């Protein structure tokens, strides 16, 4: 080399400087590549909004109604262990899956939302009851219980809301994680893989020790977590004096973001900061929180949405869609949490469109492409042999709560009607006597007609004086007097009149009265 470059030699100092320059250049290239990969990983997934719906709360929230849909995605809650059978899933311990369909029309309402291009996800757990992994100690039965819910509602995304005693139970956490890993493995490579979100309580300083342990359990079990959703609410003493709910919630999200990167690193799965934000979900409790003095305002919602979008959070939720309204004047103490209103004056606005603004992805696909099952354009031919309810007829007479099937959908009468086509297009809902419940479900069969036997109660007589509680029989249906009555025909009650002194017993009451289930028709 000295022959080609006379008079110039590489000193030790020059070699050192050269090595440093090359090293810095290499590090910069590697750092730049890692940032590129991180950004690409974040961009490959979408961000979605799905408000929680308390399925068993009253009044029932009509999540399937297009007038109340907020982006098309809802998070139905909560599936927990049945109070008597620990490995049987139930809605809040109140309804088994079959009972929820019978009493709440839940399957049909889910099908209707999906039919309209919406998306249904389901949350397991919550604070008040035993999550399935806590109560069911048989691993195979536990996996079957989760699968029963996933299969019944054709889910692509589930949410595990683990808090309270459920979160402290380490063995339950291991069972839960292993069951989810097994379900994901079964569905990998199919047209409906399973996305799993873990929802956990949080403080302004981040996840609790129990929370980070739960995430570590899922990663160790091999669960491919779609993300960790933190409940930015009910901080209590963890929120320092003077700290606003907005600041506390932003701090909680930032802290969880840092924790999540560490947890993935310890599990041998390094993820960049942008990809980590895509695995963060945030769920405020709108209005009055469970802790007095904690109020999440509409202004907080605007700022929190902007914060989440700027950071690139993968999910925004809220508790709950049931509560997204101003309380009525009859609700005396708004500092006490209601499950049907927010506790603040919302000034005619709703939290859902504010928090969900610009969250345009899908929970199922984590992309911008909607997962919509195609429906044929041709009208469905209704089959009386398999239809769960009578096929609508233009000469039929229908009364309040009567159900019919028409063009593959189930409708319920709002009041007495004859000749009104159930799917006749109208501008306003009040223009039709019919309410669409949803599509006829696969494998449905005719619902047995419940009638009372002749002689169970006297037939109605216009000359008889009836007192409160007296019962009569009309065409196999039982009516009960609400107050003193004479010459008041039960027909008004059939037509839904509140002024009628008669109340018709529904099928459930009649079955209970007769003491036997009706036979299948």
Rounded Cα distance, 316 and 48, in Å: 6
Of 371, 441, 457, the closest CA to residue 191 belongs to 371
Rounded Cα distance, 509 and 514, in Å: 9
Rounded Cα distance, 153 and 253, in Å: 31
- 205, 206, 211, 217: CA torsion to nearest 10: -130
Q: Give the residues across from 435 on adjacent strands.
A: 412
Rounded Cα distance, 123 and 78, in Å: 5
* HSE of 88, CA atoms in CB hemisphere, 13 A: 12
Rounded Cα distance, 81 and 77, in Å: 13
Rounded Cα distance, 11 and 130, in Å: 72
Rounded Cα distance, 101 and 434, in Å: 20
Indicate if 131 belongs to the active site: no
Q: What is the chain's alpha carbon radius of gyration, rounded to the nearest angstrom?
A: 29
- 113, 115, 116, 122: CA torsion to nearest 10: 30
Rounded Cα distance, 321 and 54, in Å: 8
Query: Out of 163, 178, 480, 494, which one is annotated catalytic?
Result: 163
Written as six digits, the tokens of 334 are: 């708004």
3-state secondary structure 306-347: HHHHHHCCCEECCECHHHCCCCCCCCCCCCCCCCCCCCCCCC
Q: Which residues are catalytic?
A: 163
């Amino acid at each position: 080399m000295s022959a080609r470059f006379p008079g110039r030699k590489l000193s030790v100092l020059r070699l050192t400087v050269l090595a440093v320059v090359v090293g810095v250049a290499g590090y910069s290239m590697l750092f730049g590549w890692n940032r590129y990969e991180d950004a690409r990983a974040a961009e490959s997934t979408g961000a979605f909004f799905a408000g929680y719906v308390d399925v068993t709360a009253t009044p029932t929230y009509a999540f399937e109604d297009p007038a109340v849909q907020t982006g098309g995605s809802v998070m139905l809650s909560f599936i927990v262990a049945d109070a008597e059978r620990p490995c049987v899933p139930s809605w809040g311990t109140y309804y088994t899956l079959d009972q929820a369909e019978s009493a709440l029309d839940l399957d049909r309402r889910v099908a209707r939302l999906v039919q309209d291009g919406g998306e249904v996800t389901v949350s397991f757990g919550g604070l008040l009851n035993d999550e399935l992994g806590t109560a069911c100690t048989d691993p195979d039965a536990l996996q079957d219980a989760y699968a029963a819910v996933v299969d019944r509602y054709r889910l692509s995304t589930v949410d595990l809301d683990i808090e309270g005693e459920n979160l402290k139970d380490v063995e339950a956490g291991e069972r839960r994680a292993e069951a989810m890993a097994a379900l994901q493995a079964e569905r990998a490579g199919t047209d409906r893989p399973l996305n799993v979100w873990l929802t956990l309580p949080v403080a302004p300083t981040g996840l609790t020790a129990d929370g980070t342990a739960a995430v570590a359990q899922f990663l160790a079990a091999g669960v491919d977590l779609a993300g960790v959703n933190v409940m930015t609410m009910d901080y209590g003493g963890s929120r320092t004096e003077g700290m606003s709910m907005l600041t506390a919630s932003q701090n909680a999200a930032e802290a969880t973001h840092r924790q999540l990167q560490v947890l993935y690193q310890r599990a041998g799965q390094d993820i960049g900061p942008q990809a980590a934000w895509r695995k963060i979900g945030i769920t405020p409790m709108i209005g009055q929180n469970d802790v007095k003095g904690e109020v999440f305002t509409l202004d907080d919602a605007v700022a929190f949405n902007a914060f989440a979008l700027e950071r690139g959070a993968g999910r925004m939720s809220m508790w709950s869609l049931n509560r997204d309204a101003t309380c009525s004047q009859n609700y005396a103490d708004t500092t006490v949490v209601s499950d049907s209103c927010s506790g603040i004056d919302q000034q005619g606005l709703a939290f859902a469109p504010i928090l969900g603004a610009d969250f345009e992805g899908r929970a199922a696909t984590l992309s911008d492409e909607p997962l919509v099952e195609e429906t044929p354009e041709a009208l469905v031919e209704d089959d009386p042999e398999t239809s769960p309810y009578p096929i609508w007829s233009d000469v039929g007479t229908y009364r309040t709560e009567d159900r019919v099937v028409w063009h593959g959908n189930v409708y319920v009468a709002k009041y007495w009607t004859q000749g009104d086509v159930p799917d006749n297009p109208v501008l306003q809902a009040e223009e039709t006597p019919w309410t669409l419940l949803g599509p006829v479900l696969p494998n449905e069969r005719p619902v047995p007609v419940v009638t009372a036997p002749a002689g169970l109660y006297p037939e109605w007589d216009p000359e008889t004086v009836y007192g409160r509680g007296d019962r009569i029989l009309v065409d196999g249906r039982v009516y009960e007097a609400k107050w003193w009555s004479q010459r008041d025909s039960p027909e008004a009650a059939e037509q839904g009149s509140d002024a009628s002194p008669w109340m018709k017993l529904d099928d459930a009451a009649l079955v209970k009265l007769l003491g036997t289930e009706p036979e299948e028709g």
